[in-house]
Amino acid sequence: MKNFAGKIAFITGGASGAGLGQAKLFSKSGMRVAIADMRQDALDNAVGEIIAYSGAKPEDVLALKVDLTNRAEYIAAADKAEEVFGAPPHLLIQTAGVNAFGPAETSTFEDFDWIVGVCFNAVVNGLVIFVPRMVKAYGNKEEFHIAATSSYAAFMGLPGNAPYDSAKAAVLNLHDSYYKALVPYGGGATVLCPQNINSNIFACQLYRPESLAPTGYNTTETTMAFLKNMHSQGMDPVELAGWLKRAIENDQLIVLPYDNAEEMLRGNYERYIKYASPEGMKQIREQDEAERLAAASFADPGVGFGAARAGIDWVHESKKPK
């Protein structure tokens, strides 16, 4: 997809962070943009920011309050965007996400239901809702493209980020499938896999549904402040959106938005090659025991970030909040 002017984009998580950066950049590229988010105040602020950045007309930016895990709400939002803009999106970007950190072995059903629900199930919802509409409207007639914001975490499994890592890996795999599936219709697919982004994902715990509140992780104001500081040092969202735009223009499936992307991928896949043989596993097991123990824990003892919820007495000492 190379031409954006006059076309339609639908962006989830578009009220802040990476999604807002995408909305700003693609709006400035001449697209009419619908942004979907569950926070009305953030949506209201985002519309003004998009217009100020891109110079778009107010009628070319549509804010939709929607719980993307609720299929009826998501369908209604898709219908509304099509009603306002007169057609389905040419570009679907699914960026909404949440995260929480703690030992994999203390994860609750609710930890998985919340994180996988937003980071993967909502992406499935968007593909099932939008792809048939896009194929019918644009298949072999106009350019169209689907994209999602996954993560560099999709290429690994970390001991303190299991629900998120697995959801992001599934998003990557799913778009690989759709990339191939859309070839007969002239469509494309791209997955963006950044590391740290300057965003407010650290605050997602404040919007976690009460029904999914039970967690096995240590989540406090201190750990949220720790995350806020970490994310403040991440890549600028508009800069990140530029990497995505160039990849879409080049029909590129995977985007690691760094100059050493090939080296990063090679290091991860060499580890998986070791996992796939007895000899390789022997090399891993022969690592220094202290190094292996450190790798097994994600917790920061200074602030309790990545530790288990207080009161879980059976977890390893290295994973308890200090």
Let me know if 272 is a catalytic residue: no
How many CB atoms neighbour CB 223 within 10 A?
A: 23
Which is the catalytic residue, given 138, 152, 164, 178? 164
Dihedral sign from CA coordinates of 138, 64, 242, 123: negative
Dihedral sign from CA coordinates of 140, 143, 144, 150: positive
Cα(30)–Cα(42) distance, integer angstroms: 23
Q: How would DSSP label each residue in 249-318? A: HTT-SEE--STTHHHHHHHHHHHHHHHTSHHHHHHHHTS-HHHHHHHH---BTTTTBTPBPTT--SS-GG
Q: Show the tokens assigned to 50.
A: 């998009």
Residue 8: beta bridge partners? 32
Whether 147 and 287 have beta carbons less than 8 Å apart is answered as no
Q: Which of 68, 5, 11, 3 is nearest to 38 (CA)?
A: 68
Give the residue numbers annotated as catalytic, written as ranges: 164
